[in-house]
């Protein structure tokens, strides 16, 4: 222990005395508009006032309204808002899980400095489940605000010009859902298990649960498919369909004699089982009725992107918009129902316009692939450029169109480095939140990279003043080399920290 003269706590040293303030994350912590971010999202967390209770006492002004005495359910004080926002940024910037980010936060002084802590705390800031509740409370508008602030910081630090926001690249990809590969055999076995559990919870005694036979049939179907013995596989699946139908009819028959509330609770389970049983007996989906690919995630769609290695992907379509120069993401939105790419362009550009409004910019030119053809009339204010118009566009647009492929590695980094490869969040809202947070994490890493590469004006001014005070000649190349060594390139830093 040693005393620090610049701190209120005599026995502890401040974090800014423990870390190198030239670290890109430390520089970014001092340049983020934390107060503005907190002010814009704080309204989501305001406590709702309880309605007054009319008391029977009367006076000259009529019945008096007083608040009833109710015990407080507030619980312990909330974690600081800046810490929770910083955890979401750090989670997706450094590819950590909810459990991993809170654990690593307690071991990394730089992360705590980024979160606004004055002293190093060697414990977790909160439980991992707190992040789940915080994301739900933020909602889609809240996480879009986090993404918009990364654009404002990039402009304020002069790492990108506001004019670059007028030219964007738009493309779509698939955000995979955290589900097992959907096969008829696996889905039917899941339906059988869920029907048995629902009957037990409702107090319905079944004649037979087919537990042993169901597991054996599921194993047989997998072995027959691997051996390409498809007649035997179809015969096994037919038996599974028979078992699921028999359990479904028995529950419906015995459920008619129980209460209305129990029947309503069984309704969703019976409906899902009926959908799985029906779709496993036909090759094509019924008109107006999409297939069910996961019991716990009915929003999952089967999307074909024309890839030879993975012809079908199971998840949700996500649109990504980035700047033509600079590769900064200016929009990310999930589109459920597997729409045509061109039909998502107007909503994608609308989101990008909202996120750019603080910099007083909006997309004027969109560079897209051939999947966005035929939607010029739906977007009259935006000049759409793709290679199908190569004979009708100017030579400048034709030259800039060559940079459209720059969004492909951006999508690759989103999936491999920022957790877009597999969405573990629940429901359609989880898909939308995850897509925007992955883009915000990418932009945070982009800011760290650009700070290390180019520096920021206030660092240069500080360095120049220090050189003048020490009567030294400034060496800009040496300063940039020292900043570049803190670029946080992932694996090397983790090995050094271990």
CA distance linking residue 323 with residue 400, whole number of Å:
12
CA distance linking residue 24 with residue 483, whole number of Å:
7
Token pair in block for residue 34 = 């934390």
> In this predicted structure, what is the pLDDT of residue 66?
54
Residues 304 and 430 in one domain: yes
Domain-located, residue 94: no
Residues 306 and 426 in one domain: yes
Token pair in block for residue 263 = 């029947």
Domain-located, residue 87: no
- Helix (H) / strand (E) element for 332: namely strand 329-335
32 alpha carbon, distance to own chain's centre? 21
Domain-located, residue 308: yes
Residues 275 and 326 in one domain: no
Which residues have a Cβ under 8 Å from the Cβ of 287 and sit 6 or more positions away? Answer: none
Residues 261 and 406 in one domain: no
Q: What is the DSSP string of 294-355?
A: -SS-TT-EEE----SS-S-EEEEEEEEEEETTT--EEEEEEETT---GGGGHHHHHHHHHHH
Domain count of the chain?
2
Which residue range(s) make up the domain with 425?
152-179+300-447
Residues 439 and 309 in one domain: yes
Residue 54's alpha-carbon distances to 47, 51, 101, 384, 492, in angstroms, are: 22, 10, 48, 61, 66
CA distance linking residue 228 with residue 46, whole number of Å:
59
Residues 326 and 385 in one domain: yes
Long-range Cβ contacts of 305-308 (<8 Å, 24+ apart): 305/173, 305/174
Burial class (CB in 10 A: 0-12, 13-18, 19+), 380: exposed
Domain-located, residue 131: no
Residue 331's alpha-carbon distances to 31, 137, 159, 169, in angstroms, are: 22, 21, 18, 10
Residues 168 and 317 in one domain: yes
Residues 168 and 308 in one domain: yes
Q: How many CB atoms lie within 10 A of CB 486?
A: 19
Residue 487's alpha-carbon distances to 8, 204, 287, 455, 458, in angstroms, are: 32, 61, 53, 11, 18
CA distance linking residue 179 with residue 174, whole number of Å:
14
CA distance linking residue 447 with residue 464, whole number of Å:
23
Residues 412 and 331 in one domain: yes
Rounded to 5 degrees, what are φ and ψ at 422? -155, 115
- CATH number of the domain encompassing residue 388: 3.30.420
Domain-located, residue 285: no
Residues 173 and 313 in one domain: yes
CA distance linking residue 59 with residue 45, whole number of Å:
37
Burial class (CB in 10 A: 0-12, 13-18, 19+), 3: exposed
- As beta bridge partners, residue 321 has 170, 331
CA distance linking residue 290 with residue 278, whole number of Å:
12
Question: Could you tell me whether strands 365-367 and 167-176 are parallel, antiparallel, or unpaired per DSSP bridges?
Answer: parallel
Residues 305 and 223 in one domain: no
CA distance linking residue 40 with residue 142, whole number of Å:
8
Token pair in block for residue 4 = 């620090």
Give the three-class secondary structure for 327.
coil
451-478 per-residue burial string, b: 16 or more CB within 10 A, e: under 16 = bbeebbeebeeebeeeeeeeeeeeeeee
Domain-located, residue 237: yes
Token pair in block for residue 269 = 């389970």
Q: Which of 265, 25, 27, 46 is nearest to 137 (CA)?
A: 46
> In this predicted structure, what is the pLDDT of residue 288?
67
Residue with tokens 């809202």, as numbered in its chain: 429
Alpha helices in 125-229 (DSSP H): 128-156, 184-201, 211-226
Residues 210 and 267 in one domain: yes
CA distance linking residue 300 with residue 50, whole number of Å:
39
> In this predicted structure, what is the pLDDT of residue 490?
44
Could you tell me what percentage of the chain is helix, strand and coil, using 3-state DSSP and rounding each to the nearest 5?
Answer: 55, 10, 35
- Full pLDDT tens readout for the chain, 498 residues: 344 555 577 778 789 888 988 899 999 999 999 999 999 988 777 655 555 545 455 555 555 555 555 666 667 778 899 999 999 999 999 999 999 999 999 999 999 999 999 999 899 999 999 999 999 999 999 999 999 999 999 999 999 999 999 999 999 999 999 999 999 999 999 999 999 999 999 889 999 999 999 999 999 999 999 999 999 999 999 999 999 999 999 999 888 777 777 778 888 999 999 999 999 988 776 666 789 999 999 999 999 988 888 899 999 999 999 999 999 999 999 999 999 999 999 999 999 999 999 999 999 999 999 999 999 999 999 999 999 988 889 999 999 999 999 999 999 999 999 999 999 999 999 999 999 999 999 999 999 999 998 765 555 565 566 666 665 555 555 554 555 454 444 444 443 444
Domain-located, residue 39: no
> In this predicted structure, what is the pLDDT of residue 479?
55
Which residues have a Cβ under 8 Å from the Cβ of 302 and sit 6 or more positions away? Answer: 291, 293, 312, 313, 314, 338
Domain-located, residue 482: no
Q: What is the 3-state secondary structure (H, E, C) of 61-93?
A: CEEEEECCCCCCCCCCCCCCHHHHHHHHHHHHH
């Amino acid at each position: 222990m040693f005393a620090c003269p610049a701190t209120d706590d005599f026995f502890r040293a401040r974090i800014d005395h423990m870390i190198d303030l030239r670290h890109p994350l430390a520089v970014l912590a001092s340049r983020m508009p934390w107060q503005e971010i907190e002010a814009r999202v704080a309204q989501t967390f305001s406590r709702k006032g309880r309605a007054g209770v009319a008391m029977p006492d009367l006076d000259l002004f009529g019945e008096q309204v007083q608040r009833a005495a109710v015990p407080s359910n507030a619980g312990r004080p909330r974690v600081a808002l800046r810490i929770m926002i910083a955890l979401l940024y750090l989670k997706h910037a450094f590819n950590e899980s909810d459990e991993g980010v809170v654990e690593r936060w307690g071991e990394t002084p730089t992360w705590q400095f980024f979160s606004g802590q004055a002293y190093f705390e060697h414990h977790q800031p909160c439980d991992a489940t707190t992040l789940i509740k915080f994301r739900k409370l933020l909602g889609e508008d809240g996480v879009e605000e986090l993404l918009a602030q990364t654009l404002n910081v990039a402009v304020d630090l002069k790492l990108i010009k506001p004019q670059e926001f007028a030219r964007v690249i738009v493309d779509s990809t698939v955000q995979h859902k955290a589900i097992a590969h959907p096969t008829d055999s696996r889905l039917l076995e899941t339906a059988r298990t869920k029907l048995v559990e629902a009957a037990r919870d409702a107090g319905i005694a079944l004649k037979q649960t087919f537990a042993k036979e169901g597991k054996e049939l599921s194993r047989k179907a997998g072995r027959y498919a691997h051996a390409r013995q498809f007649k035997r596989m179809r015969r096994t699946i037919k038996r599974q369909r028979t078992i699921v139908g028999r359990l479904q009819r028995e529950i419906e028959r015995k459920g008619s004699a129980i209460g209305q509330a129990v029947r309503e609770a069984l309704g969703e389970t019976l409906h899902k089982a009926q959908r799985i049983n029906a779709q496993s007996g036909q090759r094509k989906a019924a008109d107006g009725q999409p297939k069910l690919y996961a019991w716990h995630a009915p929003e999952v769609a089967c999307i074909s992107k024309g890839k030879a290695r993975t012809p079908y992907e199971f998840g949700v379509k996500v649109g990504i918009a980035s700047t033509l120069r600079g590769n900064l993401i200016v929009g990310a939105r999930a589109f459920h129902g597997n729409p045509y790419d061109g039909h998502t362009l107007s909503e994608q550009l609308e989101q990008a316009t909202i996120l750019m409004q603080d910099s007083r910019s909006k997309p004027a030119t969109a560079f897209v692939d051939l999947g966005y053809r035929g939607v010029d009339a739906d977007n009259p204010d935006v000049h759409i450029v793709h290679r199908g118009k190569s004979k009708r566009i100017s030579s400048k647009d034709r030259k800039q169109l060559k940079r459209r492929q720059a969004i492909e590695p951006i999508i690759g980094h989103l999936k491999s480095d920022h957790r877009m490869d597999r969405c573990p969040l629940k429901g359609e809202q989880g898909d939308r939140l995850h897509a925007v947070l992955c883009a915000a994490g990418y932009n945070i890493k982009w800011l760290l990279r650009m700070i290390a590469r180019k520096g920021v004006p206030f660092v240069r001014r500080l360095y120049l003043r220090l050189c003048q005070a020490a009567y030294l000649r400034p060496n800009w190349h040496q300063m940039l080399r020292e900043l570049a060594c803190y670029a946080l390139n992932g694996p090397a830093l983790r090995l050094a920290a271990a």
